[in-house]
């Protein structure tokens, strides 16, 4: 299926009220009406095109939401104050007390903690599965299952979800497939392959500057409108609104995303090939030996590569800590959580972004205590970066000099 997310974003005619090439920023919390009946109709959902309160909709947020929907190939989108707000709003909107969720075991630590530790407060049960094992997914399904949750490229093990196959399972059980596409914006368009709802942490690659926290939900117009319903909408009532000033800056950054994803991917593939030549234990879906390589090839939009995420396994947390400290001193990048920044970021997943996952489950998903996750930056001279990494690995005796 051919889809060009860049063209879809750039084809949108979004300009300011005075012809500004950048859409206007509306920093109003509330909006005036010339007739009282129009306000009443807007509250009742009978009036299209009117804004009533920025927790409901803000014009600047809608500019960003429309662009994200175009990028993902969905009818509509909603932007939130964080990626976790997007994830939690979707799940709470789909589920009631007594319902059931099937989730990939390998998933972002914050998501895992919400599913495992928070949802039981509402009597919502969760079954964690190996998302690559479709028979296991099918066996986990129940009559009260409301959604299957996964990530296109899972965090931090970089498994690749077979979205068409998972969508077929979801459809057969009359539930929704929700896919977190944070690691692979533009590279994969999950909705085109059957995902019903796509969520993002805009904080990461889409914004690309690590200067804000934001999220997005991309789905059908019916679903997005239900989130914003003034009487029963989860997003309207829980209020995870994104500041319009941040929406405006993210929208500008979105228009360079395609160039950045290409460079992130190019640099990560370069490092992966050198890791392979050096005999390191590593994980990158762009290498043919990766178990999800063929699956990813089936669902990628051409021209964006395989993403900027890569991981190496140093077996022990002590070696991982030493490597990261040495790399920071050598100028490889920063020992920091998060991803999608123009600088390379690296962290020991088991001690940071996956620390919410119990150690026995970390082992079950194949994550060793020495796993170092890289978000490869936009380095102009990636060979120089490799030599810095190599120097550190030689010092730790993981590579022969």
Task: Give pLDDT tens digits for 83-135.
Answer: 999 999 999 999 999 999 999 999 999 999 999 999 999 999 999 999 999 99
Q: Same structural domain for residues 203 and 304?
A: no
Residue 188 clears pLDDT 70, i.e. is over it: yes
Q: Scan for tokens 């190496």, then name that residue.
A: 312
Whether residue 45 has pLDDT greater than 80: no
Q: Is 4 helix (H, G, I), strand (E, B) or coil?
A: coil
Mean pLDDT value across the chain: 94
Of the pLDDT bands very low, low, confident and very high (cuts 50, 70, 90), residue 1 is low
Q: Is residue 109 part of a domain?
A: yes
Can you give the CATH number for the domain in which 356 is found?
3.90.1150.10
Q: Note whether 272 and 308 are same-domain residues.
A: yes
Of the chain, the percentage scoring pLDDT greater than 70 comes to 99
* Best CA proximity match to 123, nearest among 100, 93, 150: 100
Q: For residue 307, give every residue at least 6 positions away whose Cβ sits within 8 Å of its Cβ, in sequence order, or none.
A: 153, 183, 184, 187, 261, 264, 265, 268, 285, 286
Q: Return the residue matching tokens 């390191």.
A: 280
CATH code of residue 143: 3.40.640.10
Q: How far is CA 321 from CA 281, 328, 338, in A?
A: 17, 11, 17
- Confidence class for position 66, pLDDT limits 50, 70, 90: very high
Q: Specify whether 298 is located in the same domain as 170.
A: no
pLDDT, average across residues 9-14: 88
Asked whether the predicted pLDDT for residue 285 surpasses 70, the reply is yes
Q: Which pLDDT score, from 0 to 100, does residue 44 have? A: 79
- The pLDDT assigned to 202 comes to 98
pLDDT at 49: 78
Do residues 187 and 288 both lie within one domain?
no
Q: Dmax over Cα atoms in the chain, in whole Å?
A: 78
Last residue of a domain, one of 231, 254, 277: 254
Same domain, 230 and 288: no
Whether residues 237 and 262 fall in one domain: no
pLDDT tens sequence across 160-170: 999 999 999 99
Long-range (24+ apart) CB contacts under 8 A made by 335-339 are 338/203, 338/204, 338/210, 338/375, 339/183, 339/204, 339/205, 339/308, 339/309, 339/375
Which pLDDT band, with edges at 50, 70 and 90, does 400 fall under? confident
Shortest CA distance to 156 belongs to which of 366, 333, 320, 376?
A: 366
Same domain, 131 and 60: yes
* Beta-strand pair 344-348/333-335: parallel
Whether 114 is in a domain gets the answer yes
Chain-centroid distance of CA 17 in Å reads 32
Q: Per the domain annotation, does 401 fall within a domain?
A: no
pLDDT at 348: 92
Tokens 């206007």 belong to: 24
Domain membership of residue 90 (yes or no) is: yes
Q: Burial of 118 by CB count in 10 Å (0-12 exposed, 13-18 middle, 19+ buried)?
A: middle
Containing domain of residue 56, as a range?
Answer: 5-254
**Residues 247, 264 within the same domain:** no
- Report how far residue 232's alpha carbon sits from residue 212's, in angstroms, rounded to the nearest whole number: 29
Residue 336 lies in a domain: yes
Query: Position of tokens 């040495």?
Result: 326
Contact at 8 Å (CB) between 114 and 87? yes
Considering the domain architecture, whether residues 42 and 159 belong to the same structural domain is answered as yes
Query: Is the pLDDT reported for residue 47 higher than 80?
Result: no
Q: Please say which residue of 254, 284, 300 terminates a domain.
A: 254
Mean pLDDT across 54-58: 91
Helix segments in 128-256, DSSP class H = 134-140, 163-172, 221-227, 234-238, 244-254
135 located within any domain: yes
In a domain, 129, yes or no: yes
Domain stops at, among 191, 219, 254: 254
Same domain, 182 and 299: no
Mean pLDDT of 207-227: 97
Q: Are residues 363 and 238 in the same domain?
A: no
Q: Where are the beta strands (DSSP E) in 125-164?
A: 125-129, 145-151
Q: What is the pLDDT of residues 350-396, one digit of tens each?
A: 677 777 888 888 888 888 899 999 999 999 999 999 999 999 999 99
pLDDT at 399: 87
User: Averaged over 211-240, what is the pLDDT?
Assistant: 96
Token duo for residue 208: 């690309």
In a domain, 400, yes or no: no
Domain count, the chain: 2
Distance CA 397, CA 123 (A): 50
Residues 242 and 263 in one domain: no
């Amino acid at each position: 299926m051919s889809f060009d997310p860049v063209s879809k974003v750039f084809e949108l005619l979004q300009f300011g009220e005075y012809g500004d090439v950048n859409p206007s920023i509306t920093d109003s919390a509330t909006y005036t009406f010339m007739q009282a009946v129009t306000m009443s109709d807007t509250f009742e959902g009978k009036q299209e095109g009117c804004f009533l309160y920025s927790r409901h909709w803000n014009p600047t947020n809608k500019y960003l939401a429309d662009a994200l929907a175009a990028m993902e190939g969905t009818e509509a989108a909603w932007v939130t104050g964080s990626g976790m707000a997007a994830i939690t709003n979707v799940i709470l909107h789909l589920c009631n007390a007594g319902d059931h969720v099937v989730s990939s075991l390998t998933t972002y630590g914050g998501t895992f903690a919400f599913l495992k530790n928070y949802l039981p407060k509402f009597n919502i049960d969760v079954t964690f599965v190996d998302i690559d094992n479709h028979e296991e997914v099918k066996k986990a399904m129940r009559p009260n299952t409301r959604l299957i949750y996964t990530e296109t490229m899972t965090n931090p093990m970089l498994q690749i979800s077979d979205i068409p196959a998972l969508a077929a399972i979801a459809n057969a059980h009359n539930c929704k497939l929700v896919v977190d596409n944070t690691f692979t914006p533009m590279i994969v368009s999950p909705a085109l392959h059957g995902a019903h709802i796509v969520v993002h942490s805009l904080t990461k690659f889409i914004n690309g500057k690590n200067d804000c926290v934001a999220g997005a939900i991309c789905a059908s117009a019916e679903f997005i409108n239900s989130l914003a319903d003034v009487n029963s909408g989860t997003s309207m009532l829980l209020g995870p609104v994104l500041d319009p000033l941040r929406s405006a800056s993210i929208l500008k950054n979105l228009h360079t995303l395609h160039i950045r994803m290409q460079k992130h991917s190019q640099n990560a593939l370069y490092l992966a090939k050198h890791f392979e030549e050096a005999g390191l234990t590593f994980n990158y879906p762009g290498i043919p030996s990766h178990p999800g390589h063929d699956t990813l090839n089936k669902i990628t939009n051409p021209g964006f590569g395989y993403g900027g995420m890569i991981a190496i396994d140093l077996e022990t947390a002590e070696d991982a800590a030493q490597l990261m400290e040495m790399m920071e001193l050598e100028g490889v990048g920063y020992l920091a959580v998060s991803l999608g920044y123009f600088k390379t970021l690296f962290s020991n997943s088991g001690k940071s972004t996956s620390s919410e996952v119990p150690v026995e489950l970390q082992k079950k998903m194949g994550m060793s205590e020495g796993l170092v996750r890289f978000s490869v930056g936009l380095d102009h001279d990636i060979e120089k970066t490799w030599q810095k990494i190599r120097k550190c690995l030689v010092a730790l005796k993981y590579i022969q000099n």
